Chain A
């Protein structure tokens, strides 16, 4: 199955590579986001040294974990961002008469260049920052890192899938998605514990994005979690499974409710 996904993604990528200059401009343009991300961390820490007890390198390491996971999400799962259109344009009429499950059909459609524009900056960030923070790397650590990165991508997808479920009733869900994305793109640069009570609660139990980078970072730094349970730094894979189960269940209920818009 994975082989088919990768093959289809490669074909989509190739179709975009037909116009190489365009492709490069898009990659360069979207990579500017990476620069913004670094500045959002660098400027406050250059003025005040630490944010919630963590300096530039620690925060950079935490953020690179998030961005790498996000890069995996962009490569494999980001087609669900356009879910509204699939419902509105009646694409589901086509999905439902084909033998393959609609999830596979959506996942295999299109290639987001986000995969490249997230990976180039984030892996660079990870390599540089991980040499500046005190982490003893061993086989177990590295294995855990790989599991964390994939689980993080699944967590992001699970939320996306859950929100996609709403579009079977409301057709327009872009602002609901936008709300989740505000947490995803604007609160991940800083440690969750600085945000009082409401935001850490949301990032842990509603949109569990804190498990993508904030909690796992505690594991790598071998420190106790400041909020909630000391078990949370290890919980990322478990959270990914639970979140995906909930997201998939809700989306399936929505699908059963699907009525073609007739377009």
Chain B
């Protein structure tokens, strides 16, 4: 356990140092996120002119949602796809698979290291900035915060599992850019990162609400802005758990196929 904590800390420090080497890039990255926040903050302000609420959701809720969504987006839409594909193409992947640690967990630890580094260098500064300059309303109930954090942890894991599955496809597809963009775009639009799902027209909305993508951003964020009534909470969290189990099963299934495929090829 101590060893794991120490390894984890080392990974986080490494990711953090990597980020701080390119300070200029880091600052430009923040600027970029702020532009995006500003664009969508302004979009909803214009759309809500002369309108009190849409389907029960106010401008303040919507703006809080998008501002926080875009601040935490760098934590959730990171992808291992190019990195894994590079290792598959170079053949170095066999060394990763031969390690005593399950490959998925190896990526997860790396991902958590990057998560901590991104949180400290990108998301927290963005959130602080947004608090100061944008009108956003945070919940004051402790219960809401706890459910948000629980849902957010599951959101991260859902995003990770989807990325793992997409990365494993790289064993069958030589050029993964299509997969990379498709995954990224579906996550952003169907996950509700740019537009909260409550604005989606029916029956499209009802379908999207059943898909796993909502668990990546929409579920935690709508809990945070008070868009989920207490009686809907078990359903929202339950769906996240359901999809995590399904994705976890599917990733293990694919991993087994990968190992078998490699064995057949004999390296």
Residues on A facing B (Cβ under 8 Å):
19, 22-23, 25-30, 32-33, 35-36, 39-40, 42-44, 46-48, 51-52, 170, 172, 174-176, 178-179, 182-183, 186-187, 190, 194-196, 198-199
Contacts and interface: CB of A to CB of B under 8 A. Distances in A.
Nearest to B48: A48
Contacts of B51: 48
Contacts of A29: 177-182
B235 interface: no
B25 A182 contact: no
A238 B66 CA distance: 37
A262 B261 CA distance: 41
B46 interface: yes
Contacts of A33: 181, 185
The 6 closest A-B pairs by CB, nearest first: A29-B178, A175-B28, A26-B178, A29-B182, A32-B182, A175-B25
Contacts of B239: none
Contacts of A174: 25
Interface of B: 22, 24-26, 28-29, 31-32, 35-36, 38-39, 42-43, 46-48, 51, 54, 173-175, 177-182, 185-186, 188-189, 194-195, 199-201
A198 B178 CA distance: 34
Nearest to B38: A199
A199 B39 contact: yes
B32 A179 contact: yes
10 contacts: A25-B178, A29-B181, A30-B177, A33-B181, A51-B43, A170-B24, A176-B28, A178-B29, A187-B39, A190-B39
Given A25-B173, A44-B199, A47-B199, A196 B42 contact: yes
Contacts of A51: 43, 46-47
A40 B173 CA distance: 29
Contact of B189 (A25, A40, A183, A194): A40
A48 B50 CA distance: 11
Contact of A178 (B32, B43, B54, B189): B32
Contacts of B38: 195, 198-199
B201 A178 contact: no
A22 B173 CA distance: 6
Among A23, A28, A44, A175, find the residue whose CB has the most chain B CB atoms closer than 10 A: A175
B252 to A, nearest CB: 24
Nearest to B201: A46
Among B24, B31, B182, find the residue whose CB has the most chain A CB atoms closer than 10 A: B182
A175 B32 contact: yes
A36 B25 contact: no
A29 to B, nearest CB: 2
Given A32-B185, A40-B189, A52-B46, 8 more contacts: A25-B178, A29-B181, A36-B186, A39-B195, A175-B28, A179-B31, A194-B46, A196-B42
Contacts of A26: 175, 177-178
Contacts of A178: 28-29, 32
A27 B188 CA distance: 19
B20 to A, nearest CB: 14
Contacts of B43: 44, 51, 190, 194
A29 B194 CA distance: 20
Contacts of B199: 43-44, 46-47
A68 B31 CA distance: 28
Contacts of B173: 22, 25
Contacts of A195: 38-39, 42
Contacts of B31: 179
Contacts of A44: 43, 47, 195, 199
A44 B51 CA distance: 14
A175 B24 contact: yes
Contacts of A187: 35, 39
Given A52-B46, A182-B35, A196-B42, A30 B25 contact: no
Contacts of A25: 173, 175, 178-179
A44 B73 CA distance: 20
A40 B188 CA distance: 10
A174 B25 CA distance: 8
Contacts of A179: 28, 31-32, 35
